[in-house]
Amino acid sequence: MRLAAWLSVACGAAGCAAYDGYPLQAGLSSKAEVLQTMGQPAEIWPTKSGGETLVYPRGPMGFHTFMMKVDAEGRLLARENALEPRIFALIQAGMTEEDVRRLLGPPVPYWTVYFEARDELVWEWRYCDDWGEPARFNVLFDGVSRRVRSTLSLTESQRPDLGFGRMRARCSR
């Protein structure tokens, strides 16, 4: 218990970034407050309206990628976890790698695999499924065109290659 309290104080004193930006409020918080709270984003995407989407992946062992949408005046419009089934459903065959990154954020680099026999590139993200179980979402790209062929989602307990076997962990969104 003392260790947890000490780590909490140390992290606060060091100015550690918040995991999810919970204290930030849409319409009230500024981009500067987002950066102060969340730290530097992994990616920044310009929006059509002149604003930006700041991307905060919390993987590989985290279950979230937070998209912080900021308008042209620097106000926070929305904070959204991109790694949810309703967002995965937007991934369609024929989309480009950039289209996918804009929806989900970057994949975990060392989980990216190329299958030569199928000429297929697979990107992977870890997320928490609808039943509170850790899962992996995969986007399979054609190796030449780099366009989406298909997607696949399996819980970690369904993936023998991960070494979890029948063990079922729990997570939350």
pLDDT in tens, 113-154: 999 999 999 999 999 999 999 999 999 999 999 999 999 999
Rounded CA-CA distance 37/126 in Å is 23
The pLDDT assigned to 9 comes to: 42
The pLDDT assigned to 168 comes to: 65
CA end-to-end span of the chain:
25
**pLDDT, tens only, 54-94:** 999 998 889 999 999 999 999 999 999 999 999 999 999 99
Mean pLDDT computed over every residue of the chain:
89
The token pair that represents 142 in the structure block: 């054609």
φ and ψ of 42, to 5 deg? -70, -35
Full-model pTM: 0.83
Rounded CA-CA distance 34/24 in Å is 7
Q: Which domains does the chain have, with CATH numbers?
A: 13-81 (3.30.1450.10), 85-162 (3.30.1450)
Rounded CA-CA distance 56/12 in Å is 19
| Cβ atoms 141, 122 nearer than 8 A | yes
φ and ψ of 36, to 5 deg? -65, -40
Cis preceding linkage at 160, omega within 30: no
User: Does the pLDDT at position 162 exceed 60?
Assistant: yes
User: Does the pLDDT at position 5 exceed 60?
Assistant: no
